[in-house]
Amino acid sequence: MDESRNLNPSAMAKIQAYKKLVEHLRDWYIGLPDADILLPLLEARLTADEAAFLANLPFLPQTLEQLAERLNFPPEELKARLDPLAEKGLLFRSASRNTIRYALNDSMFSLYRSPFWSGKSDENMEKLAHLSNRYFDEVYGHEFGAYPTMGLRAIPIERTIKDSRRVLPYEDLIQVLELEDTFCTSHCPCRQRKKLDPEAPTCRHETFNCLHFGRLARYMVKEGMGREISREETLEILQAAAEAGLVHGISNTREGMDTICNCCSCCCMFLESKHKLGLYGHQPSNYILEINTRTCQGCGLCVQRCPMKALELLASPEARNKLGKVSNLKEGLCLGCGVCAYKCPTQSLGLVLRPDEQDFPKNFREQVYRMGKERGRILF
């Protein structure tokens, strides 16, 4: 991002403002790698004045009064500066009865999630989508693969689990939703940025089916990024996504999950890192596919539906069908999502617990700490 040679002082000051924000964002848990396209991407997302201001704000929530003291700003003037940035998705704003808190959003939230949730479409959004897609392919995608702790994990389609009595609470969609009181839906940011980019492949799937809960849902509804819905509508969207062959991807924690994405393999940034870069970016669930080869018809529907290309039809002496072939699971690729089993016409596929339970982070703070540490940053 070295664009400062042979520039006038005004242009240099502008570049320095963006550089300052980049360095600040790099202190948090997700990196922001250098690339020639990074500066144009940032310019499409926010102004240099906004970048310079945001570079002084903390990632952990602080009250308006704390920030006013920190920045030496009158509270009301500061609020007038902060609120438009929250509306733009660059700051997170949460309000209780007597207190408003603000926190700087990380690079993924600011560049890849919040701009596209609302479904807004104009010339600048098309430019932003194209630049963000290119930046992901060139360097940013590596931030979501090859690390033990990932940003999203699969949560199984409920009816595909063989022994429902052994479902873990944080992998039970119904239990997760029962704990929430606020729900909203938005456009899938991954499919939306591909849809807006004329150079990206066309995706056939619905975009308005990204689900959010609790504090995040309240923030999104207030800032015009999502629409509030009921728990029943949430369940309907999940069912439609399962029918369409989409992966339920939930926040990668055991408590306080705030998002369920409905992911397609052609657009999802977490699945994309595997297919484009060969790096795993989507954490598997604690379940894995089990195949009954004696009842498998060899129809190949599961092979078509699998988002990880983890299934293939192979000749087998156990086959009891005319083709003489049955589904076979390729080792190490199964997400444990249940997309394949959901539509199996003979119910020959189902999910069973993996031999060893995975150690998912307890909450968002632990997830951030782990992800930062894995990238060489010690947080908190």
Per residue in 109-156, pLDDT (tens digit) is: 999 999 999 999 999 999 999 999 999 999 999 888 778 999 999 999
The residue type found at 315 is: A
Would you give the distance in Å from CA 49 to the centre of its chain?
28
Q: Is the dihedral of CA 369, 222, 240, 206 positive or negative?
A: negative
Would you give the distance in Å from CA 17 to the centre of its chain?
28
Rounded to the nearest integer, the mean pLDDT of the chain is: 94
Tell me, yes or no, whether 36 lies in a domain. Answer: no
Mean local confidence (pLDDT), 243-269: 96
Contact status, residue 247 vs residue 223, Cβ threshold 8 Å: no
Tell me, yes or no, whether 196 lies in a domain. Answer: yes
pLDDT in tens, 146-178: 789 999 999 999 899 998 777 878 899 999 999
Tell me, yes or no, whether 345 lies in a domain. Answer: yes
Mean local confidence (pLDDT), 298-326: 94
Q: Give 4's pLDDT tier (boundaries 50, 70, 90).
A: low
Tell me, yes or no, whether 286 lies in a domain. Answer: yes
d(CA 154, CA 293): 25
Which residue segment(s) compose the domain that 158 sits in? Answer: 134-374
d(CA 135, CA 175): 37
3-state secondary structure of 299: coil
Mean local confidence (pLDDT), 279-294: 92
DSSP assignment, residue 161?
B
Tell me, yes or no, whether 176 lies in a domain. Answer: yes
Tell me, yes or no, whether 203 lies in a domain. Answer: yes
**Total domains present in the chain:** 1
d(CA 73, CA 76): 8
Mean local confidence (pLDDT), 333-357: 95
> At CA 264, angle to CA 173 and CA 296, rounded to 5?
75
pLDDT value at position 165? 75
Tokens representing 336 are 């444990």
Q: For the ranges 97-101, 192-196, 216-220, which has the lowest average pLDDT?
A: 97-101
Q: Give 278's pLDDT tier (boundaries 50, 70, 90).
A: confident
Tell me, yes or no, whether 242 lies in a domain. Answer: yes
pLDDT in tens, 12-45: 999 999 999 999 999 999 989 999 999 999 999 9
3-state secondary structure of 157: coil
Mean local confidence (pLDDT), 234-239: 97
Question: Which tops the pLDDT comparison, 320 or 311?
Answer: 311
3-state secondary structure of 101: strand
Tell me, yes or no, whether 19 lies in a domain. Answer: no
pLDDT in tens, 347-358: 999 999 999 889
What is the C-alpha end-to-end distance of the chain, expressed in Å?
28
Would you give the distance in Å from CA 341 to the centre of its chain?
24
Contact status, residue 275 vs residue 310, Cβ threshold 8 Å: no
Mean local confidence (pLDDT), 228-243: 97
Asked whether the predicted pLDDT for residue 1 surpasses 70, the reply is no
Q: Give 3's pLDDT tier (boundaries 50, 70, 90).
A: low
Residue 6 burial (10 A CB sphere; 0-12, 13-18, 19+): exposed
Tokens representing 308 are 């990880």
d(CA 169, CA 175): 6
